Amino acid sequence: MKTRFIVLLALAGVVRPCQGAVDGIAYFEREIRPILVRHCYECHSTDSKVKGGLRLDSREGVEAGGDHGAILVKGDPEASRVIVAVRYQDGDLQMPPSNPLSREQVSKLEHWIAMGAPDPRISSRTNQGRLEGMSPSEGRRFWSFQPLASVGIPDRQSPFIQNSIDRFVLETLEEKQLRPASRADKTTLIRRVTQDLTGLPPTAGEITAFLSDESPNAFERVVERLLSSPHYGVRWGRHWLDVARYADSNGLDENIGFGNAWRYRDYVVQSFNDDKPYDQFLIEQLAGDLVPGANQETLTATGFLQLGPKVLAEPDVEKLQWDVIDEQLDTMGKTFLGMTFGCARCHDHKFDPIKQTDYYGLAAIFKGTRTFGGENMGAIKFWYEHSIASEEDKARLKEVDAELKNLNSAASAYKNKAVSRIRTEARANAVEYLVACTQFDSSMPLTDLARIAAPKALHPRILHHCRKHLEYHREDPFFADWHRYADEGKVEALRDHYASLFEKAEKALALARKEDAKMTSLKDEQLERARAALDDKAGFLAVPTVDADAFGEETLAEYFRLLAVARAFESTAPDAPALMGVGDGEVVDTVPLLIRGDWKRRGREVARAVPQVMRWNGEGPPFQRETSGRLELARWMVDPRHPLTARVMVNRLWGWHFGAGLVASTENFGVMGDRPSHPELLDWLARYFVQSGWSIKAMHRLILGSGTWQMASHHPKESEYQAMDPENRWLWKQNLRRLSAEQIRDSVLAVSGRLDRCLGGKTLPLRNRQFVFNHTSEDHTTYDSLRRAIYLPVIRNHLYPFFQQFDFPDPTMPTGVRQETVIAPQALVMLNDPLMLDSATALAETILGGHETFEDRLQAIYLRCLGRVPTKAEVERGGEFIGIVTARHSVRKAWALYGQGLFASNGFLYLK
């Protein structure tokens, strides 16, 4: 030890200290350093981890303290946090976390601090390897925070060019020495554009009309027709719902129905159909309750902030609030600004110029926003809703609630009666149960045990429990007798013993009740034990808690029927009309910065503000005292000078048209996101968007009208180009796209003539806040509706399996571009899902009913499913297949199998 001390002194190069200090340092070396090394360094040293920002491997570290500030006061152990921690006095501050120090070690630390915490260690490295994001001023030089560039359109000539987009694309292609693919043929284009804008296949009539329209603006006319179809909003509204993480149930812990979410969904569809300017659309979603002239429509829009999953049963209300704010901030940031603000909850962003203070500046706005209502249902808190119920509605609701209560009570009364009947019977047979238990040991299977129960009409499950109960009560004075008799084989004595005890106890109780009707216990100790055993609902005659274990088939069926009646009533019962959204709560100017995001550790106060890096003129908007500040925030976001809002949205639109954005990471325009493949085009599009009055339909016309969008999805020099640009970032062809889950389903229904095109309204078969499933795991949601897929329930935690398999996005976070995976379960769906089988049958019937010859039928089925006529080879093979099947099965079966085969084919599932 001594040698080591000297070496250390030499290394540290300190001047020779006076004697007292040497003693202190010797004490440190002998007693304290080993404690630190063994118990603290693992989490608090430069070489391993620096938890809580605290380094205990150098004097500077010890003196600097951690995120909470100082850990010790030299000379005063009682005032030192480190002593509180090692004494395990405070439930939230216990160190080391797993193994407390011994009493002796604690007192050594106390002594050391009392000495003034002498410490010879000098650190050679501090703060090294700590990852930090850019500063706001560096950040402003990063591409996405720079103002939108005012770019000139490149001067290019080529038959490829149809509008300005193509000039930018061509310029890049030429730089990379690539050439664009040729224009897709008209058959391909009509299918592509119809699916792109409406999510449905073109009808045979629409195909023929387009193919025969030779006019130069034939394609534009198709685009206009589709843009004015209400099904345009269904398709593009759904894109937005991906971003808005739309769902009809909460998910997370307590999965209860969002009975009013559908109003937000319909609002989105309508907004797209109306070509609502995007700036207005954004403001309504963030601050629709605060805009001048706020109305039902704008209040509904605030559902955007309310739709997130929440831990509704979280017992710590403050944690819940901060978690919800985090969810709102993160969603808002990703959706509108392509920023991952969530990362800055606990520390400055590790990559982006977003500081923790920026996070709390925004959080203060949401802290003043009301997301929860005052009510709750047990542990489950209610999210906020704007009520729009009239007095009449409320009166009607009272009736509905009363009726529901009646139905539920009918079920529970039936059950309680059945249980008490079983209990009474068991009580009457108490002795028989005890006697029967002598015939088997506690491990006998229930099937064998039932043979013992049957002759005496005992309930096998009660008998089973009774035997276990006896086993667990060997020491119980009342049941010890049973064991004694049973061990000696004296069954009759056992019977007499308990029969007489129970009889006497019953009599004594009846007698006692004559004197005092409320009497529940007996004075005699032994009789009281007998009474207690008989009356104990969880005792030796406990009725099984699981319905199916307790009741016979008939009783069970009747009870389940009553429950189903109540549930069916509830699922379709009207709710109080209300708009799921947010309002202003208790408005605050500042919130405390939470150290490491921990709501129990409050740091300095941070005022409402927008992130520093995005303040183009050095300042953000001023915030009014009276309101939360969401309106100011939203208006600031749609200021044409904002570097992100327009870029992020045009990139989304591009991504939905091409399958990949110009910035591939649609939710992340930060340092870890992708860089734009065509930065000038992106900025030009963003400016165009703002200048068009934020018109989304104008962007569709522009993009769809471009030669770029209209290119074929394969290229004559495919493999050469593939090697150079495998992801087609430079846009030398259109991407081959797989249909989305909704497109597959809706197209299958459409071509088989089964699709119900009705729009809007509540479609969730749950009342507001009704449990999707509680503990039961019984999900009663059905998906057999034939309406468009956007109207099928989106149940968090248990998505429609068809959606789940075909890459429907996780409805808990914003998704800009969906995945297009190929997994074997998709094949199982295509081969076996009744949706496919029923649709194929319907398709076969339509084809057979409408066409006589094989050739006509095949042509019709091809046109419907693939949007083209079959080739000669396809006709031949089709004939073979129909021949093979009809040899032993019906013609209808043959065509159904053939049609289903077409659904499952790449020609159906992919868009060229």
Partner 1 sequence: MTVLHPGYTRRRMLQTAAAGFGGMVLNALLASETNPQRAKQSQVPARARRMVFLFMKGGPSHVDTFDPKPLLDRDHGKPLPFDLPEVTFAKQGNLLKSPWTFHRHGASGLPVSELFPLTAQHIDDLCLLRSVHGTNPAHGGAALKLHTGSDQFVRPSFGSWITYGLGSENENLPAFITICPTLAHGGVNNWGAAFLPSHCQGTPIGNASQSASQVAVQHIANARTSAELQREQLKLITGFNRDFNDSTAPDPVLEGRLNSYELAFRMQASMPELQDFSGESRSIRKLYGIDDPVTEDFGRQCLMARRFLERGVRFVQVTHSDSHVQWDQHSNLYQGHTKNAAEVDRPIAGFLADLKARGLLEDTLVLWGGEFGRTPTVQGTDGRDHNPHGFSMWMAGGGVKGGFAYGATDDYGYYAAENKMHVHDLHATALHLLGLDHEQLTYRYAGRDFRLTDVEGRVAKAIVA
Site for partner 1 in 147-186 (CB under 8 A): none
Q: By rule CB under 8 A, what string of x and - marks binding of each residue 5-44 to partner 1? A: -------------------------------------x--
Q: Which residues contact 641 (CB under 8 A, 6 or more apart)?
A: 147, 616, 617
HEC profile of 35-72: HHHHHCCCCECCCCCEHHHCCCCCHHHHHHCECCECCC
Among 174, 471, 481, 535, binds partner 1 (CB under 8 A): 471
Among 283, 711, 897, 911, binds partner 1 (CB under 8 A): 897
- Helix intervals (H) in 333-429: 356-367, 391-428
SS3 225: helix
Measured over the CA atoms of residue 895, residue 899, residue 902 and residue 908, the dihedral's sign is: positive
Contact call for residue 735 and partner 1 (CB under 8 A): no
Q: By rule CB under 8 A, what string of x and - marks binding of each residue 715-734 to partner 1? A: x--xx--xx--xx-------
Among 78, 316, 492, 605, binds partner 1 (CB under 8 A): 316
For 532-555, b/e burial (b = at least 16 CB within 10 A) is ebbeeeeebbbbbeeeebbbeeeb
Contact call for residue 115 and partner 1 (CB under 8 A): no
The least distance separating partner 1 from the CB of residue 652, rounded to whole angstroms, comes to 16
Q: Which CB atom, from 699 or from 748, has the smaller least distance to partner 1?
A: 748
- Distances in Å between the Cα of 379 and the Cα atoms of 397, 419, 458 are 23, 28, 40
Q: Which CB atom, from 539 or from 603, has the smaller least distance to partner 1?
A: 539
Q: Interaction with partner 1 in 216-245: which residues (CB under 8 A)?
A: none
H or E segment at 652? helix 645-658
Question: DSSP state, 326?
Answer: H
The least distance separating partner 1 from the CB of residue 843, rounded to whole angstroms, comes to 14
Helix axes 872-886, 891-903, angle to 10 degrees: 130
Measured over the CA atoms of residue 672, residue 143, residue 691 and residue 154, the dihedral's sign is: negative
The tokens 């010797």 sit on which residue? 26
The least distance separating partner 1 from the CB of residue 186, rounded to whole angstroms, comes to 16
Among 175, 391, 475, 516, binds partner 1 (CB under 8 A): 475
Among 105, 123, 270, 713, binds partner 1 (CB under 8 A): 713
Q: Interaction with partner 1 in 449-468: which residues (CB under 8 A)?
A: 464-465, 468
737-738 and 590-594 beta bridge pairing: unpaired
Contact call for residue 898 and partner 1 (CB under 8 A): yes
Question: Can you tell me the distance from the alpha carbon of 771 to that of 779, in angstroms, rounded to the nearest whole number?
Answer: 9
Contact call for residue 598 and partner 1 (CB under 8 A): no
Contact call for residue 667 and partner 1 (CB under 8 A): yes
Measured over the CA atoms of residue 743, residue 744, residue 745 and residue 749, the dihedral's sign is: positive
Question: Can you tell me the distance from the alpha carbon of 742 to that of 748, in angstroms, rounded to the nearest whole number?
Answer: 10
Nearest to 243 by CA among 120, 365, 363, 336: 336
The least distance separating partner 1 from the CB of residue 473, rounded to whole angstroms, comes to 9
For 491-510, b/e burial (b = at least 16 CB within 10 A) is eeebbebbeebbebbeebbe
Q: Interaction with partner 1 in 761-790: which residues (CB under 8 A)?
A: 773-779
Question: Can you tell me the distance from the alpha carbon of 640 to that of 424, in angstroms, rounded to the nearest whole number?
Answer: 78
Among 665, 692, 763, 886, binds partner 1 (CB under 8 A): 665
The least distance separating partner 1 from the CB of residue 386, rounded to whole angstroms, comes to 27
281 contacts 270 by C-beta, under 8 angstroms: no
Contact call for residue 339 and partner 1 (CB under 8 A): no
Q: Interaction with partner 1 in 359-418: which residues (CB under 8 A)?
A: 379
Among 194, 340, 371, 859, binds partner 1 (CB under 8 A): 340
Residues in contact with partner 1, counted by CB under 8 A, come to a total of 113
Q: Which CB atom, from 152 or from 445, has the smaller least distance to partner 1?
A: 445
Contact call for residue 668 and partner 1 (CB under 8 A): yes
The least distance separating partner 1 from the CB of residue 620, rounded to whole angstroms, comes to 25
Question: Can you tell me the distance from the alpha carbon of 335 to that of 3, in angstroms, rounded to the nearest whole number?
Answer: 62
The least distance separating partner 1 from the CB of residue 832, rounded to whole angstroms, comes to 4
Question: Can you tell me the distance from the alpha carbon of 865 to that of 41, in angstroms, rounded to the nearest whole number?
Answer: 67
Torsion region of 496: left, alpha or beta (phi above 0 gives left; psi -120 to 50 gives alpha): alpha
Amino acid letter at 656? W
Q: Which CB atom, from 334 or from 647, has the smaller least distance to partner 1?
A: 334
Contact call for residue 131 and partner 1 (CB under 8 A): no
The tokens 């030398």 sit on which residue? 732
Q: Which CB atom, from 299 or from 320, has the smaller least distance to partner 1?
A: 320
The least distance separating partner 1 from the CB of residue 50, rounded to whole angstroms, comes to 11
Q: Which CB atom, from 702 or from 813, has the smaller least distance to partner 1?
A: 813
578-580 and 385-387 beta bridge pairing: antiparallel
Contact call for residue 351 and partner 1 (CB under 8 A): yes
The least distance separating partner 1 from the CB of residue 271, rounded to whole angstroms, comes to 27
The least distance separating partner 1 from the CB of residue 897, rounded to whole angstroms, comes to 5
Q: Which CB atom, from 128 or from 719, has the smaller least distance to partner 1?
A: 719
Contact call for residue 538 and partner 1 (CB under 8 A): yes
Contact call for residue 672 and partner 1 (CB under 8 A): yes
Question: Can you tell me the distance from the alpha carbon of 212 to that of 516, in angstroms, rounded to the nearest whole number?
Answer: 98
Question: Can you tell me the distance from the alpha carbon of 316 to that of 450, in angstroms, rounded to the nearest whole number?
Answer: 48
The least distance separating partner 1 from the CB of residue 27, rounded to whole angstroms, comes to 28
288 contacts 299 by C-beta, under 8 angstroms: yes
Q: Which CB atom, from 272 or from 771, has the smaller least distance to partner 1?
A: 771
The least distance separating partner 1 from the CB of residue 765, rounded to whole angstroms, comes to 16
Q: Interaction with partner 1 in 543-562: which residues (CB under 8 A)?
A: 544-549
Contact call for residue 323 and partner 1 (CB under 8 A): yes
Contact call for residue 492 and partner 1 (CB under 8 A): no
Q: Which CB atom, from 403 or from 476, has the smaller least distance to partner 1?
A: 476
Nearest to 788 by CA among 226, 256, 230, 304: 230
Q: Which CB atom, from 162 or from 713, has the smaller least distance to partner 1?
A: 713
Amino acid letter at 764? L
Q: Which CB atom, from 31 or from 838, has the smaller least distance to partner 1?
A: 838
Q: Interaction with partner 1 in 796-855: which residues (CB under 8 A)?
A: 796-799, 801, 804, 807, 810, 812-813, 819-833, 837
